[in-house]
A and B are shown apart, each in its own frame.
Chain A
Amino acid sequence: AQSVTQLDSQVPVFEEAPVELRCNYSSSVSVYLFWYVQYPNQGLQLLLKYLSGSTLVKGINGFEAEFNKSQTSFHLRKPSVHISDTAEYFCAVRAFGNEKLTFGTGTRLTIIP
């Protein structure tokens, strides 16, 4: 089984400041890793994914994440946030050969003007 821990339930950040949203996972098998974003009353939109290859992955809207296998982490970063980044962010894992996604509890990112 897999589990995902998002250590911060809420993160307030000033506009144009950098941000890091933390994600740690646990799994007895190899996994794929994802970050999704959810805006109010919307579904989930994929920000970025790690399937294989380079451990630094870039996604939409200027976000990037680094897969660290030894620390079982997949932290999300953005060098300069905008008001439009206000949303809830979910880290998720999926075991090889399985479509089931296991999600963290989410991090609410609030941008302060």
Chain B
Amino acid sequence: KAGVTQTPRYLIKTRGQQVTLSCSPISGHRSVSWYQQTPGQGLQFLFEYFSETQRNKGNFPGRFSGRQFSNSRSEMNVSTLELGDSALYLCASSISGTAPTEAFFGQGTRLTVV
């Protein structure tokens, strides 16, 4: 069974640009969550999508947005990039059914803003 796939693995962008990151969850998983990991702030929750709807949101500015498609694939967009947006962005998927289960993470996308 294929794991969570994130593309691309590495990105370099310039301040002010926008970027889109992609996440393909494990087959059958309907929930996709995004996290930002930085040395200073650690792992922080961005948002979660379930059945194409944002179900939960962290404390990030509106420049950070996402969406989920009918096949559960998700994209995350960051507009007007700032130097502080440089981070490892991790996507996690889970079944999110009636029974509790764990989340599985992708390898991440390393975003560098210059």
Contact = CB atoms under 8 A, between A and B. Distances in A.
Interface of A: 32, 34, 36, 41-46, 49, 51-52, 90, 96, 98-106
B48 A100 contact: yes
Per DSSP, chain B at the interface is strand
B43 A99 contact: no
Interface of B: 4, 6, 31, 33, 35, 42-43, 45, 48, 50, 55-56, 58, 90, 92, 94, 96, 100-108, 110
A6 to B, nearest CB: 10
Contacts of B45: 100-102
Interface SS majority for chain A: loop
B85 to A, nearest CB: 19
B60 to A, nearest CB: 13
Contacts of B103: 46, 99, 101
A101 B100 contact: no
